[in-house]
């Protein structure tokens, strides 16, 4: 390599490491640059014609901001296509080499759009010298020209009826950006092929409904997603799992949500240990309780320190209680709920109450003072 390290584009190539050069290390990779996801090809090869070593470099480059801004001026129908051929050059699957744009495409883009840039005091990117690209139909060379049906706007843009490209984020924003106002037409989510959050009218993709990740502020996109039977409980990802499996220490929902929040403390004083086993809330009988079990409970709640344990006597308590399994000392378990069983008498008639400490965090050491 001429540099001390292999370029990122060659980092996965054994050729680069073994032979110490970058020859033959080029490879095709899928296009991930958002601006150029609607090209008639989907593989690219780096470095590109602007000198960027990776698509990440290209995505944060000056040019990847410049071209989309320029495309809004409608200066040349195929400007975005040209921009993408230099930002993410097509990769030839046979040779793994990049395919350049044709010189004519480059020249047309420059001639029609350079003057627009000049108006706002900017210059055409200096790396783009059209003479480096081959002429169309030149011997033994291939180059890219746009088809008639090539998409003029990038995926980040909305195409006005007039053909102009405006930023997608400006569609339906209450202000006309297209010269024919078409960016403010058909603005409902339904007409855009999207789903509308009822509380704030934000549009989300249909694939985001019932996917386990809330996207609407009131979680409306994650409601009414499952119909579980009477003996089942709903998982966070909307699967149904038998209630008897809830908080049994084993994962039954594929997203493990049946084992989340199994151990909590009541908001009352004293704070009673509460376990959500069988999808029902139980208090815990104090028979045989030990301090290390309190420590485990605090850890499960994300709290640390040495807990304070109290036994709260409740001779007439009617709330359902859980009891330590008679065999609990011989069980090697990681979660408290695995040690608790129901249906046994609580001889002490006392419930476990715990006070946990919050984990120490966020404090910086005090600044040291030195005598001057």
Partner 1 sequence: ILGGRTSRPGRWPWQCSMQSDPSGHICGCVLIGKKWVLTVAHCFEGREKASVWRVVFGINNLDHPSDFMQTRQVNRIILHPRYNRAVVDYDISIVELDTEINETSYVRPVCLPSRDQSAQPDTYCYITGWGHMGNRMPFKLQEGEVRIISRDKCQTHFDMKTITSRMLCAGYESGTVDSCMGDSGGPLVCEETGGRWTLYGLTSWGSVCFSKIMGPGVYSNVTHFIDWIEKQIYLHTFLL
For partner 1, the binding residues (CB under 8 A) are 5, 8, 11-12, 32-35, 37, 56, 60-62, 64-65, 68-69, 156, 167, 169, 213, 249, 251, 256-257, 259-260, 299-300, 302, 334-335, 359-365, 367
Distance CA 315, CA 71 (A): 78
- Using DSSP bridges, classify how beta strands 321-324 and 43-44 pair: parallel, antiparallel or unpaired: unpaired
Q: CB of 176: closest distance to partner 1 in angstroms?
A: 17
> Nearer Cβ to partner 1, position 280 or 299?
299
Q: Between residues 32 and 176, which has the closer beta carbon with respect to partner 1? A: 32
Rounded Cα distance between 23 and 95, Å, is 12
Q: 104 CB contacts (<8 Å, ≥6 apart)?
A: 135, 136, 145
Between 318 and 372, name the residue whose CB sits nearer to partner 1. 372
Q: How far is the CB of 107 from partner 1 (least distance, A)?
A: 26
The pair of structure tokens assigned to 8 is: 């990122």
- Per the listing, tokens 């195929």 go with 78
Residue 208 to residue 221: CA distance in whole angstroms: 7
Contact status, residue 336 vs residue 284, Cβ threshold 8 Å: no
If you count them, how many residues does the chain have? 372
Q: From the CB of 67, what's the least distance to partner 1, in Å? A: 10
Residue 292: phi and psi, rounded to 5, are -70, -25
Q: Kindly state the smallest distance separating residue 169's Cβ from partner 1, in Å.
A: 6
Listed in order, strand segments (DSSP E) in the chain are 29-30, 43-44, 90-91, 98-99, 157-159, 165-167, 195-196, 203-204, 232-234, 240-242, 263-265, 273-275, 282-284, 304-313, 321-324, 340-342, 350-357
- Tell me the closest approach of the beta carbon of residue 304 to partner 1, in angstroms: 9
Cα distance between residue 20 and residue 317, in whole Å: 77
Minimum Å distance from CB 115 to partner 1? Answer: 21
145 vs 209 by CB, closer to partner 1: 209
Closest CA to 351 of 321, 307, 306, 318: 321
Closer Cβ to partner 1, 302 or 315, answer by number: 302
Q: How far is the CB of 236 from partner 1 (least distance, A)?
A: 9
Helix (DSSP H) and strand (DSSP E) numbers for the chain: 6, 17
Q: How far is the CB of 27 from partner 1 (least distance, A)?
A: 13
Query: Closer to partner 1 at the Cβ: 18 or 315?
Result: 18
Beta strand 321-324 with 203-204 is unpaired
Q: Closer CB to partner 1, residue 39 or residue 102?
A: 39
Minimum CB distance to partner 1, residue 335 (Å): 5
Nearest CB to partner 1, comparing residues 69 and 306: 69
Among 102, 112, 123, smallest CA distance to 75 is for: 112
CB nearer to partner 1: pick between 66 and 228: 66
């Amino acid at each position: 390599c001429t540099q001390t390290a292999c370029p990122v584009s060659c980092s996965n190539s054994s050729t680069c490491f073994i032979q110490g050069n970058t020859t033959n290390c080029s490879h095709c990779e899928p296009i991930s640059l958002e601006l150029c996801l609607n090209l008639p090809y989907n593989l690219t090869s780096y470095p590109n014609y602007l000198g960027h070593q990776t698509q990440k470099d290209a995505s944060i480059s000056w040019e990847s901001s410049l071209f989309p801004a320029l495309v809004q001026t409608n200066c040349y129908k195929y400007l975005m296509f040209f921009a993408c051929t230099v930002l993410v050059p097509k990769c030839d699957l046979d040779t793994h080499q990049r395919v350049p744009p044709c010189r004519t495409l480059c020249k047309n883009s420059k001639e029609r759009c350079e003057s627009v840039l000049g108006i706002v005091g900017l210059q055409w990117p200096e790396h783009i010298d059209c003479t480096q690209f081959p002429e169309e139909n030149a011997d033994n060379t291939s180059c890219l020209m746009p088809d008639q049906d090539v998409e003029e706007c990038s995926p980040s843009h909305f195409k006005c009826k007039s053909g102009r490209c405006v930023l997608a984020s400006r569609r339906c924003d209450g202000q006309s950006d297209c010269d024919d106002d078409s960016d403010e037409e058909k603005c409902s989510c339904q007409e855009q092929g999207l789903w509308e959050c009822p509380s704030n009218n934000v549009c989300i993709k249909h694939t985001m409904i019932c996917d386990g990740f809330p996207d609407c502020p009131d979680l409306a996109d994650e409601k009414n997603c499952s119909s579980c039977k009477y003996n089942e409980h709903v998982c966070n990802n909307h699967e149904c799992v038998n209630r008897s499996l809830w908080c049994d220490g084993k994962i039954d929902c594929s997203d493990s949500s049946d084992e989340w929040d199994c151990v909590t403390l009541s908001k009352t004083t004293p704070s009673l240990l509460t376990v959500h086993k069988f999808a029902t809330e139980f208090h815990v009988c104090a028979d045989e309780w030990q301090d290390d079990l309190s420590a485990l409970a605090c850890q499960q709640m994300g709290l640390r320190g040495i807990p304070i344990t109290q036994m709260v006597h409740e001779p007439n308590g009617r709330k359902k209680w859980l009891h330590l399994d008679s065999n609990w000392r011989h069980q090697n378990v990681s979660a408290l709920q695995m040690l608790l069983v129901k249906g046994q008498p609580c001889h002490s008639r006392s419930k476990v109450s715990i006070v946990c400490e919050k984990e120490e965090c966020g404090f910086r050491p005090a600044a040291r003072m030195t005598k001057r």
